[in-house]
Chain A
Amino acid sequence: MNIINIEHIAKVYQVGTEEVHALRDVSLKIDKNEYVAIMGPSGSGKSTLMNMLGCLDTPTSGIYDFKGSSVSEMTDNELARIRNKEIGFVFQTFNLLARSDAVHNVELPLIYAGVSSSERKERAKQTLIDVGLGDRMHHKPNELSGGQRQRVAIARALVTNPAIILADEPTGNLDSKTGEEIMALFLEIHEKGNTVILVTHEEYIAEHALRILRLKDGLVEKDEVVEKRYIPKTKASFT
């Protein structure tokens, strides 16, 4: 069954008196355990599509079914619930809470899911161990390196066991070696059975995925299977 089923969605923004067509007509299906990269130059609508996929925004027209329910018709609270339970976000700038340690950052989504404090701590710690940060649990973001910060953010995305992991330029703020490690981590996450959606504008990052969706001017330019997949040589230390 498709996790994501998008048919002819469009998104129009009103900027002043002008209408901006961020997405014109996009159709897309994503299955369980796919690894998809969304690519495109700036202005191609890839950010808008990502917001749409992440249920942060709803389409102006068209159909978006997430696990069989129609996102376009959801209320704000239902969208918040779906983001909480089904989607794990990884951002370019990590977006960690600066004053909280790694464990607290990772347990954040569980707070909004209403999980009890002891279970939260337990799951957050386990997920941190999974991403290789077992020895950094009580470090605050400013005491961690860029790669470690992104691992905390990935742990935060994984901790709720979401249906999809949505990563927006996850290596954009990292040097290439650290970026490689993070991509190795994503590979292992995917191999564990997760569905990963990657938004990037870098070709070699996109080639880590199994499928690339190329956008241009709010339309799907190309939807292709990656033939020569790039497998990172670095070990991600994902247990």
Chain B
Amino acid sequence: MSSIFLELSEGLSIAWRAIRANKIRAALTMLGIIIGVTAVVLMSTAIKGIDNSLKNGVSALGSDVLYIDKYAWFSNQEWWRIRNRRNIDMEDYHRFKDLAKLPLAIAPVTNSVQTIKIGDRKVENVFLTGSNSDYVKTTNFDFASGRFYSEIEANGSRNVVVLGSEISNKLFPRSDALDKTIKIGPVNFKVVGVLTEQGSTMLGAFNPDNQVFVPIGTIFKSFVSRHFNSVTINVRAASPEKLDDTKAEAEGIMRKIRGLAHNQPNDFTINQQEGLTSFLDSITIVIKIAGLFITGLSLFVGAIGIMNIMFVSVKERTREIGLRKAIGATRRTILTQFLLESSVICLIGGIIGLIIAILLSFMLNQFFPTSVQYDVVIIAILISLLTGIVSGLAPAYTAAKMDPVDALRYE
């Protein structure tokens, strides 16, 4: 046991001497590993960042919420079949609300895109979500100030608005938005509430931070005809466990409301987060595989560099290997020595690469979601160590199996 320890520590000091003896060569070889590890670590932190961001965004939708919609989020049906479905209207919503027993909250939702103005400050193409006061119960909104619009305000289609955090920041960069009057399209609305930051930048316009919320009646009154816009019915289950039951009930009720015979297919879709999650997963998995494969290639090139230089090193030191064998080094000792040498090069390269990657990801974080995980640190070190061992194996084996007589005679 102690002799193995001695062998390792001696091997390390020999490796260290050898590396120091060829500083430039070692540094250039290391560069390949540094670039490879930097690329792999950066890619994995970026992937992790995208992943987290998407997950946050999706979870903002709520895992216990169903979206009964004319359109399917994901469908393999022909688009025109879906396009030709009947709209879901407020009548459907009211009947659904009367019949459904299981949901915690039910809210009709319709949308419009408008320009919002206050004074000469203007935000274009804002996603306007119209609903009723139950809408807030289908979300997990937190308020920075104020409240959601009330039942009375909703039923009376009053011109009141709740702002997403981003919109509020754009319209009122230095002051509180509450109780101010803003212009949505041509119409004045009074701000009754401002949300805290909710979701993620990855969802774009669907991020509640980029939306404003108004009573549904105001949308039909001022922006779009109720005959053109289909309504989405947001249904929140009492708990995530009750989601399936709630969905089954909702499907039955909707089929009844729409008067579908038993052999007719649904002319509506019940969307849910799960579908989005699996869809996003299928996208991110492609990004992950492609990203790690490409960055992995650069690490592979680095590993080839190490292997190459180790072969050169073994060749150069043939006589030294012969001498070491003549005075008692076993095959295993020689093998260990060269494996240690390539591992030390890779490990140093890996650690430098890791530090660079962490610094870069902090910088990139300003523009792009990244996330350095502790496991990435450990994995990067293990990967560089593994690279060292794998790329050192063939050269080290060549050295170990040299015949001492031939090696000593080598010119």
A residues sitting closer than 8 Å to B (CB atoms) are: 51, 54, 56-57, 76-77, 80-81, 83-85, 89, 91, 95, 97, 99-100, 108-109, 111-114, 116, 156
Contacts and interface: CB of A to CB of B under 8 A. Distances in A.
B39 to A, nearest CB: 34
A85 B328 CA distance: 8
A114 B10 CA distance: 10
A109 B404 CA distance: 15
19 contacts: A51-B405, A56-B325, A56-B404, A57-B405, A76-B330, A77-B330, A80-B328, A84-B327, A95-B319, A95-B326, A99-B17, A99-B21, A108-B327, A112-B324, A112-B328, A112-B330, A113-B328, A114-B6, A156-B327
A83 B326 contact: yes
Contacts of B324: 108, 112
Interface of B: 2-3, 6-7, 10, 17, 21, 319-320, 322-333, 404-405, 408
A91 B408 contact: yes
Nearest to B319: A95
B17 A56 contact: no
Given A91-B408, A114-B6, A84 B328 contact: yes
A77 B328 CA distance: 9
A10 B387 CA distance: 46
A51 B326 CA distance: 10
A56 to B, nearest CB: 5
A99 to B, nearest CB: 5
A80 B330 contact: yes
Given A95-B319, A99-B21, A100-B17, A112 B327 contact: yes
Given A56-B404, A114-B6, A109 B331 contact: no
A111 B3 CA distance: 10
Given A57-B405, A91-B408, A95-B408, A81 B326 contact: no
A208 B408 CA distance: 26
B329 A80 contact: yes
A145 to B, nearest CB: 20
A108 B2 CA distance: 18
Given A51-B405, A91-B408, A95-B319, A109 B17 contact: no
Interface centre among B323, B327, B404, by most chain A C-beta atoms within 10 angstroms, is B327
A83 B3 CA distance: 18
A81 B328 contact: yes
Contacts of A108: 324, 327
Contacts of B408: 56, 91, 95
Given A97-B320, A99-B21, A114-B3, A109 B405 contact: no
Contacts of B320: 97
Given A57-B405, A95-B319, A95-B408, A83 B328 contact: yes
Contacts of A91: 323, 408
Nearest to A99: B21
A83 B405 contact: no
Contacts of A97: 320, 323
A166 to B, nearest CB: 10
Contacts of A111: 6, 10
A222 to B, nearest CB: 26
B400 to A, nearest CB: 10
A133 B21 CA distance: 26
Contacts of B328: 80-81, 83-85, 109, 112-113
A84 B7 CA distance: 15
Which are the 7 A-B pairs with shortest beta-carbon distances? A84-B328, A112-B328, A114-B3, A109-B327, A80-B330, A95-B323, A56-B404
Contacts of B332: 77
A109 B326 CA distance: 9
A156 B324 CA distance: 12
